[in-house]
Amino acid sequence: MTIEACMGAERAVPARAGFRASPDGLAAALFAALGAVALWLAFGHALGTAARMGPGFFPAAVAGLLVLASALVAAGAWVGPAEPVERGRLRPLASVLGAVLAFGLAIDRLGFLLSAALLFLIAGQAVPGTRLRATLALAAGVGGLTWLVFVKLLGIPLPTWPR
């Protein structure tokens, strides 16, 4: 007789799905891969010392922390309960990637403010049923705030309006 039969099907604790079959396991693998690539790229620059940091010091530190975080997430995935991996949804992925791509391609021609508005309008399509008025308000508010922070406060020379 199995444990599930003794406890009843509704009370049974799901078995561990294994590292690769869990969402946390997949996230840990992605974090580890990104961290490893970032570390490899960071070591192409001079690291320097803690007192005189080189251009590769901070990226290497962040990449190392990402690899450490992936190990912690992987440990949780290994011992945690089983969770099914959801089927991927294409709309959110395509909307966010398309928004970032459109922003990068448009910033030189449209300027920062209109490119940021375009970014939020495209990314807003990731959630079905989003109202255009709310997306426009978000685009104006957050676009203006990011322009204020990056261009005015930090002094990053970005074109504000179309050329």
For residue 135, the enclosing domain spans 90-153
Residues 107-118, mean pLDDT to the nearest whole number? 91
Looking at the fold, whether 70 and 96 belong to one and the same domain comes out as: no
Could you tell me if residue 4 is inside a domain?
A: no
Give the CA count within 13 Å in the CB-facing half-sphere of 128. Answer: 3
Could you tell me if residue 59 is inside a domain?
A: yes
- Which of 79, 110, 136 represents a domain boundary (last residue)? 79
For the chain, give the mean pLDDT.
Answer: 83
Q: pLDDT value at position 13?
A: 43
Neighbours of 37 (CB within 10 A): 11
Looking at the fold, whether 99 and 75 belong to one and the same domain comes out as: no
Task: Give the chain's count of helices (H) and strands (E).
Answer: 5, 0
Could you tell me if residue 84 is inside a domain?
A: no
- Which of 54, 79, 104 represents a domain boundary (last residue)? 79
Backbone angles phi, psi at 96, to 5 degrees: -70, -45
Q: Is pLDDT at 91 greater than 90 in this prediction? A: no
Q: Is pLDDT at 21 greater than 90 in this prediction? A: no
129 pLDDT band, cuts 50/70/90, is confident
Neighbours of 68 (CB within 10 A): 13
101 pLDDT band, cuts 50/70/90, is very high
Could you tell me if residue 127 is inside a domain?
A: yes
Q: pLDDT value at position 2?
A: 46
Residues 60-78, mean pLDDT to the nearest whole number? 91
Looking at the fold, whether 48 and 71 belong to one and the same domain comes out as: yes
Residue 48 pairs in a beta bridge with 53
Q: Is pLDDT at 8 greater than 90 in this prediction? A: no
Looking at the fold, whether 68 and 119 belong to one and the same domain comes out as: no
Could you tell me if residue 144 is inside a domain?
A: yes
Query: CA-CA distance, 25 to 32, in Å (whole number)?
Result: 11
- Report how many domains make up the chain: 2
Query: CA-CA distance, 157 to 55, in Å (whole number)?
Result: 21
Could you tell me if residue 159 is inside a domain?
A: no
Looking at the fold, whether 64 and 101 belong to one and the same domain comes out as: no
pLDDT digits (tens, 9 = 90+) for 57-68: 999 999 999 999
Could you tell me if residue 163 is inside a domain?
A: no
DSSP structure class, residue 9: G
- Which of 79, 100, 128 represents a domain boundary (last residue)? 79
Pick from 31, 39, 41, 29: nearest CA to 61: 39
Query: CA-CA distance, 118 to 139, in Å (whole number)?
Result: 8
Could you tell me if residue 161 is inside a domain?
A: no
Looking at the fold, whether 147 and 98 belong to one and the same domain comes out as: yes
Looking at the fold, whether 145 and 94 belong to one and the same domain comes out as: yes
Q: Is pLDDT at 16 greater than 80 in this prediction? A: no
pLDDT digits (tens, 9 = 90+) for 24-50: 888 888 899 999 999 999 888 888 888
